[in-house]
Structure formats: structure tokens, C-alpha cells
Amino acid sequence: MIEPSFFFEQVKKNGTDFFAGVPDSLLKNLCAYITDNESDERHIIPANEGSAVALATGHHLATGSIPLVYMQNSGIGNAVNPLLSLVDSDVYRIPMVLVIGWRGEPGKKDEPQHVTQGRLTCPLLETMGIPYVVMAEDHDSLKKQIDDCYRSIRETGRPFAFVVKKDSFAPYSLQKNIPVTAEMTRETAIETVLLASRSDDIFVSTTGMASRELYELREKHGMGHGKDFLTVGSMGHASQIALGIALEKKNRRVVCIDGDGAALMQMGGLALIGERKPENYIHVVINNGAHDSVGGQPTIALSVDLAGIAKACGYASAVQVASPEDLRAELEKNAAGPRLVEVRVLKGARKDLGRPKESPQENKQAFMQFVAE
Ligand SMILES: Cc1ncc(C[n+]2csc(CCOP(=O)(O)OP(=O)(O)O)c2C)c(N)n1
């Protein structure tokens, strides 16, 4: 196993002093170590992986040094455009180290949303012409890989990627926890929304633990799973899936259960919701100020006025709530949407949280039947 401190020190020794990325469960120990040991100016968690590549590019343009960008392989898609049309050697040829968590590695069991991305991770890098190695799992081999990586970057001026297998990094627990003043957990917030909703409300939930909690809560209350579209992958897009449904099903309420990290990742979606003004749309953004599902690294959502943004985008109303009572009252209101309800919650989840038992396509079938009723 690799100590996160060892990796960090080796890249620092090679002159890297800027880190940007979106956290990943497989990289969580490294991400937490960087969060704790690098200043806020030199480590930034931006809205999405494409922004991380762009920030790193700006840092290189300003300093000439080699930045490091980390991401889950799910985020490669968000990064492809800046990698190919900005960083690429036929364009500006920007050097950077990429560290990519390898969910869905072939031969290892993982969730359906990671299978194809996992199979295509190395072929995608090859197709994009980005040299890479699968990160070694002992310090001596890794030191050699890192030295080779920087030699390649210095010779070519191009990026170099480390593809990181599960359990490659030794444990490290995040120390820098930003306190959130909140009285309920995400699970309590979701339960409150469920119990205050109408029986024909359509739900679309975001990537990560929110969808897993929604699934288990339906089970607990014997409500079945057909009412929920679980956006297991495609982080940030739940709000637009919900919008696509709301625009067609005008006589049904559509409730989007979003996360702060996900809402920030595709924040442009709020503008379209505000412009289209679906009256049947309720956007519940659960804000724990963190990428809780992948290790709890901070987002910037606690210092952003999400309700203010939604209002400026044209939502009919937008409020922030912190108690189950206020959340319940919002859901029970008979007001026209689109409405945004930001719910401040605590970080963390149950240790024994399960995963959906049905396949995504079974989920889709049951959901489409419910929507058609
Ligand atoms: C494009 C993309 N980048 C990164 C991930 C990894 N990922 C899964 S859930 C998650 C955190 C989501 O944060 P938030 O929306 O705030 O919800 P929370 O986990 O805090 O409930 C991340 C980064 C992903 N699935 N897809």
C-alpha cells in the first residue's frame, strides 16, 4: 500500500505545488491528506473535473510549474473537452499530472455505473494520447514511476496519468472537518421529504448515498421503488432528468433530491429550470457542505447562497431550511414551482447502508410504469 504522505512528498519534490480535483472514493485517503496538508490556495476542489483541468492550466500559465489534477474515472468525461482542446499537444500542450481512481476495474466487482467506464479507462487514455501507468503499490516502484512521469512531462510538455486501483492508498482520515450547523442527517431529510410527499409525486435522486438512502427508506416504509429514478451515475444531472420529466408530466409533482456537490457540478441546470419555470418542480438540495459519499471532502456550497442563485435564475421561490418541521412544511405547501429548498444537514451516513437490489434497467421499467400511470 502507498502512504498518501509518500505520494504527496514525491510529487512535491518534483516541483508540483498546486492540486485540483473532484474527490473519489478510491482516492479518498490521498484527497484527505492533500486537504489537510496543503493550503487552500494550493489545493482547490472545483465544481467539476473539467474545471480542475482548466484551473491547473491557469496555474501552469501563471507559474510554469507542473500541477496535479485528481478525479474518479467517472469524471474523465467532464475532463475530455479541456484535455483534448486545451491541454492537448496539438493545442497549448500543457503539462500536468493526472491521478485517476479506477472504479470498475475489469475483474473486480463494482456497481453497474462503473462497469463500462472501468473497462474503458485505459483505452480512453490511449485514444486521447495520454501516457499512463497503473500506479504501483509499493513505495520503491512508485518512486521510480513518479520520476519517470516527471521525466516524460518535462521532455514532452504533455500530461501523464496514474490510474489507481482500489485499496492502493493506505488509510488516512480527514482532520480538517468544517463544522456544519445542522440538526438532521441527510437520511432524516430524505425521510422527511418522503413522508411529506404525495403518493403520486415522482422522485429523481442524485448520485451517491442519497439514492442509496432513498432506496432503503422506501423499503423501510413499504413504499416500493417505482416512484424513484435513482441517478446512480451521471453526477450533477439529476436536476435535468427531473426537468425533462416535469416538462412532460405537468399534472404530477416532480421532486429532485440533489446534493450540494452535484448541484454545483452542473449549476447551469438551475438557469434552465428557472427559465422554463415548471410549476410542478421541487428542487431539494441537501447541503452538507461536502462530497460526503466519497470521503467528506469539502465543497464550497456552505459559502454560496444557493437560494439566492435559484431566485436569480427565475425559480418561483427558494428557501433554506434546517429543521425537519420547516422541511415538512415546504413539501406540504401547495405553491407553484419551480421551488428550491436547500436543506442544511450534517455530514455522515449509517455504516450499514445498503445498495439497490434491482438493476438500473429494472429501476427504469418500474419508474416508467409509475410515471405513465
Ligand atoms: C463526474 C463524477 N465525478 C465524481 C464522482 C464521484 N462521486 C460520487 S458521489 C460524489 C459526491 C457527491 O457530493 P454531493 O452531491 O454533495 O452529495 P453527498 O455525497 O454529500 O450526499 C462524488 C464526487 C462521480 N460519480 N461522477
Give pLDDT, residue 318: 98
Q: Of 110, 288, 317, 264, nearest to 213 (Cα)?
A: 288
Report the helix count and the strand count for the chain, using DSSP H and E.
Answer: 14, 14
Residue 210 Cβ contacting ligand 1 at under 6 Å? yes
- Would you state the pLDDT for residue 178? 74
- Report the atom number in ligand 1 closest to the C-alpha of 262: 15
Nearest Cα to 232, choosing from 214, 252, 219, 244?
A: 214
Residue with cell 448520485: 207
Which domains are seen in the chain, by residue range? 4-164 (3.40.50.970), 186-372 (3.40.50.970)
In whole angstroms, give the CA distance from residue 261 to residue 289.
8
Region class of 107: left (phi > 0), else alpha (psi between -120 and 50), else beta = left
Nearest one of 67, 25, 69 to 46, comparing CA atoms: 69
297 Cβ below 6 A of ligand 1: no
User: Of 215, 235, 260, which is best to mutate to test ligand 1, by the most ligand atoms within 8 angstroms of its C-beta?
Assistant: 235
Q: What is the pLDDT along the chain (373 residues), one digit of tens a residue?
A: 999 999 999 999 999 999 999 999 999 999 999 999 999 999 999 999 999 999 999 999 999 999 999 999 999 999 999 999 999 999 999 999 999 999 999 999 999 999 999 999 999 999 999 999 999 999 999 999 999 999 999 999 999 999 999 999 999 998 987 777 799 999 999 999 999 999 999 999 999 999 999 999 999 999 999 999 999 999 999 999 999 999 999 999 999 999 999 999 999 999 999 999 999 999 999 999 999 999 999 999 999 999 999 999 999 999 999 999 999 999 999 999 999 999 999 999 999 999 999 999 999 999 999 999 9
Residue 170's SS3 state is: coil
Contact residues for 162 (Cβ-Cβ < 8 A; gap 6+): 97, 98, 99, 100, 132, 133, 134, 135, 145, 149
pTM: 0.97
Please indicate whether residue 212, judged by its CB atom, sits closer than 6 Å to ligand 1: no
Cα distance between residue 214 and residue 219, in whole Å:
9
Residue whose C-alpha is closest to residue 185's, from 368, 71, 324, 17: 324
Residue 179, pLDDT score:
74
